[in-house]
Chain A
Amino acid sequence: MKLETNAILLLVVVAVFMFLGSYFTMVVPLMDARLNAPSKDARPYTELEMKGRHVYQKEGCVYCHTQQVRNLLEETQRYGMGEEETFKRFGIRALIQAPPSQPGEFAYDQPHFLGTRRVGPDLARVGGKYDNTWHINHLRDPRSTSPGSLMPAYSWLFDKASQPTPDAIALVAYIQKLGTNYKWREEGVEQARKLQGISAALPFKEGKQ
Chain B
Amino acid sequence: MEQHEDKSARWFMYTSVLFFLVTILIGLIMSIRFIAPEFLGGIASLSHGRIRAIHTNGVLFGWLLAADMGLCYYLVPRLAGVRLFSEKLGMATLGLWVVIILGAVVTLGIGDTQGKEYLELDMALDILVTIAWVMFAINIFATIARRKYENMYASLWYVMGTILWTAILWIVANLPVYAGVNDANVNWWFGHNAVGLIFTPVGLAIAYYFIPKATGNPLYSHKLSLIGFWTIAFLYIWNGAHHILFGPIPTWLQTVAILFSISLLIPVWTAVTNFYGTMRGKWAQANTVVKFFLAGTTFYLLTCFQGPMHSLRTVNQIVSKTDWIVGHAHMAVFGAFSFFAMGGIYFSLPRMLKRPVFSEKLAEWHFWLSFVGFLGFAISLWIGGFVQGLQWMDYRISFLDTVKAMFPYYLVRMFSAILMVAAQLMFAYNVLRTARGNGHAPAAPAVA
- Which residues of chain A have a CB within 8 Å of any CB of chain B? 4-5, 7, 10-11, 13-15, 17-18, 20-22, 24-26, 29-30, 32, 34-36, 57-64, 66, 68, 70-72, 74-75, 77-78, 80, 82, 95, 100-103, 105-121, 142-143, 146-156
Contacts and interface: CB of A to CB of B under 8 A. Distances in A.
Interface residues of B, number: 82
A121 B399 contact: yes
B402 to A, nearest CB: 9
B403 interface: yes
B47 to A, nearest CB: 5
Nearest to B41: A153
Contacts of B393: 74
A67 B151 CA distance: 51
Interface of B: 33-34, 37-38, 41-42, 44, 47-50, 52-53, 111-117, 141, 144-145, 150-152, 157, 160-161, 164-165, 168, 172, 178-187, 189, 197, 226, 233-241, 243-250, 253, 256-257, 260, 317, 320-322, 325-326, 392-396, 399-400, 403-404
B244 A114 contact: yes
Given A60-B113, A78-B399, A110-B179, A116 B49 contact: no
Contacts of B50: 59-60
Contacts, number: 222
Nearest to A141: B38
Among all A-B residue pairs, the 6 with the closest Cβ atoms: A60-B49, A21-B237, A58-B111, A70-B246, A106-B180, A77-B395
Contacts of A102: 248
Contact of A14 (B47, B164, B321): B164
A28 B322 CA distance: 30
A7 B160 contact: yes
Contacts of A61: 49
B162 to A, nearest CB: 10
24 contacts: A5-B150, A7-B144, A14-B165, A17-B233, A18-B165, A21-B238, A25-B239, A25-B253, A35-B182, A58-B111, A60-B53, A63-B117, A64-B49, A74-B392, A74-B393, A82-B395, A103-B248, A116-B117, A117-B326, A118-B321, A147-B400, A152-B33, A152-B37, A152-B49
A80 B247 CA distance: 16
B184 A112 contact: yes
A111 B321 contact: no
